[in-house]
């Protein structure tokens, strides 16, 4: 089974949760920007939550399905259509052979995820299938998808799904996003240099708004807002930095490190976005406003555990529904 790229998108690539444990070698984790959106898509088609998916940005690729498949779209709503007919996100959908998937309008969010039942065949590098463009490894030849690329799937989706003449069939269950995307504010835990900020800057950090600049990308979100400053400026030794680190640049502006962040940095680390807040942050677009909210470590852990519990419950529910539904057609 396979799908083929008829028209390349802005930067569409195969991504999973990333490769961890190699920052000491200068290799960043990478992976999907919105790991929650990736996992929700996988849950809907009965995959392991960490299975690799296609991450797409608008304008996204145009794709033809060369065989019948079970798919799900998660993350951003990019106005998906099959041969001109609107396709919903966050539902499992049976797609018929030769159906063409297009994306017409960036309705909400920044990144969409396309999961297929069984997952995609792709290159594994350092225990991950995520595309690492600098190393030219992982995914499909370590690069973004191009016109005429053929992506094979790991599993044949067989059954007597005729679709009553339709090119796709939307199965009747979907995902409730409550608790998965924390949209009220970007919650952070104070970093090692937070207390080096002067009192006015600490106050501004939590009360002033910041805009995401167009220069933002998978490496980091550059922000524009009131300039912040530290009490006693000094040179810092470069140290390891994880995803979500909020750094203070020399001009007083902020940058939030994202999926393709560098492995070390020498700018003051004034905070770290909590893991439960990564999904909502990853779906923010240029010019959107960010408001920060300081959070205690205990609350950050509670929110992450709740998300993980909800994901497992959703996975179990989707597996049960799929087994029940598919049993009728795969006898």
For the chain, what are the domain ranges? 2-176+314-329, 186-295
In whole numbers, what is the pLDDT of the chain averaged over residues? 94
Q: Fold for domain 186-295?
A: Cyclophilin (2.40.100)
Find the mean pLDDT for residues 87-115.
96
Angle of helix 297-329 versus helix 35-44 axis, rounded to 10: 30
pLDDT score of 331 more than 60: no
Tens-place pLDDT, residues 118-152: 999 999 999 999 999 999 999 999 999 999 999 99
Give 216's Cβ-side CA count (13 Å radius).
25
294: exposed, middle or buried (Cβ count in 10 Å: 0-12, 13-18, 19+): middle
Consecutive H or E run containing 115: strand 108-116
Give the pLDDT of residue 27.
95
pTM of the model: 0.95
Tens-place pLDDT, residues 281-299: 999 999 999 999 999 999 9
215: exposed, middle or buried (Cβ count in 10 Å: 0-12, 13-18, 19+): exposed
Give the pLDDT of residue 1.
75
Tens-place pLDDT, residues 177-208: 988 999 889 999 999 999 999 999 999 999 99
Find the mean pLDDT for residues 317-328.
88
Measured between alpha carbons, how far is 245 from 63 in angstroms, rounded to an integer? 35
Q: How many helices (H) and strands (E) does the chain have?
A: 4, 22
């Amino acid at each position: 089974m396979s799908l083929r790229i008829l028209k390349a998108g802005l930067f569409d690539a195969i991504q999973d949760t990333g490769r961890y444990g190699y920052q000491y070698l200068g290799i960043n984790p990478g992976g999907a920007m919105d790991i929650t959106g990736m996992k929700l898509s996988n849950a809907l088609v009965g995959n392991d939550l960490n299975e690799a998916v296609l991450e797409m940005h608008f304008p996204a690729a145009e794709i033809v399905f060369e065989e019948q498949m079970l798919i799900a779209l998660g993350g951003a709503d990019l106005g998906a259509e099959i041969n001109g007919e609107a396709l919903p996100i966050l539902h499992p959908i049976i797609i018929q052979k030769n159906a063409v998937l297009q994306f017409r309008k960036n309705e909400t969010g920044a990144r969409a995820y396309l999961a297929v039942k069984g997952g995609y065949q792709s290159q594994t590098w350092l225990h991950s299938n995520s595309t690492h463009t600098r190393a030219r490894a992982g995914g499909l030849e370590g690069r973004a998808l191009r016109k005429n690329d053929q992506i094979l799937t790991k599993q044949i989706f067989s059954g007597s799904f005729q679709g009553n003449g339709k090119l796709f069939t939307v199965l009747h269950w979907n995902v409730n996003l409550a608790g998965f995307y924390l949209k009220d504010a970007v919650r952070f835990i104070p970093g090692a240099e937070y207390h080096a900020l002067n009192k006015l800057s600490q106050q501004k950090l939590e009360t002033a708004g910041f805009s995401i600049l167009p220069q933002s990308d998978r490496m980091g979100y550059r922000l524009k807002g009131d300039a912040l400053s530290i009490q006693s400026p000094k040179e810092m030794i470069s140290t390891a930095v994880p995803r979500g680190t909020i750094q203070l640049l020399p001009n007083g502006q902020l940058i939030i490190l994202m999926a393709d962040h560098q492995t070390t940095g020498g700018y003051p680390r004034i905070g770290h976005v909590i893991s439960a807040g990564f999904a909502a942050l990853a779906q923010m677009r240029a010019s959107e406003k960010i408001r920060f909210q300081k959070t205690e470590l205990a609350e950050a852990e509670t929110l992450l555990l709740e998300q993980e519990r909800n994901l497992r419950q959703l996975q179990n529910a989707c597996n049960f529904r799929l087994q029940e539904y598919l049993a009728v057609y795969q006898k």
